[in-house]
Amino acid sequence: MSSETITIKTPDGSFSGYLSKPESGTGSKPGIVVIQEIFGVNQVMRDLTDWYASQGYVALCPDLFWRIEPGIDITDKTEEEWKQAFDLFGKFDVEKGTADIAATIDTLRPMTSGKVGAVGYCLGGQLAYLTACHTSSDASVGYYGVNIQNRLDDAKGIKKPLMLHMAGKDEFVPPEAQEQIVNGLRDNPHVTIHRYPEMDHAFARPGGAHYDKKTADEANDRTIKFFQRHLA
């Protein structure tokens, strides 16, 4: 497995992405865009990108905060960093972020078998949903995505498989919002939703306050099987 920083170009400018490749290299393997949380492309996201590469995918994590400040790399360990993360979240333009993911998919696809999916966490969970609605992603997965209930009109654009992992006790997605999401997507045959009733937000973030290894392993296993099925 090897990793490097690459450049992704858009009409608005260029930004960086952390690319991790499986041992057998690129060209014959499918790709996955790994979509960041509100802490930037930090060690957690790089480790996740490496993990997807270890599963046989060409994985690319784009720096989606580049329009605000390139190279954000903070943790969830201090109050100051949380304040910075929420400030970045407040300034983030979701539409431009979705366009940047589309550019990332276009950059990644020539390095792969031709199939490219996306997976995102927290902010990235919402963006994974919008990626399914508005980009050429072949299969998308969102973990505890925020604000999806406010974007259900976008669901008419979902034409490829989408899987959502929802935390039943998510402090950022209250029960009524979760029911809106489930009811709003119920009739779309491309959408699969897994619910984890006792979990809080970020249950799959290693080292996080709500990390639950057993449930994270279950969700990650479902994600990998989903990608094996749809990106083969």
* Residues that are catalytic: 170, 201
Return d(Cα 14, Cα 143) in angstroms, integer: 27
Return d(Cα 134, Cα 132) in angstroms, integer: 6
CB 76 within 8 A of CB 56: no
- Collapse the DSSP code of 70 into the 3-class scheme (helix H, G, I; strand E, B; otherwise coil) and give the result: coil
Q: Which amino acid is at 21?
A: K
Residues 6+ apart with CB under 8 A from 179: none
Return d(Cα 186, Cα 152) in angstroms, integer: 11
CB 161 within 8 A of CB 137: no
Tokens of 230: 């749809």
Angle value at C-alpha 79, between 76 and 85, nearest 5 degrees: 55
Return d(Cα 2, Cα 187) in angstroms, integer: 41
Tokens of 51: 């993990």
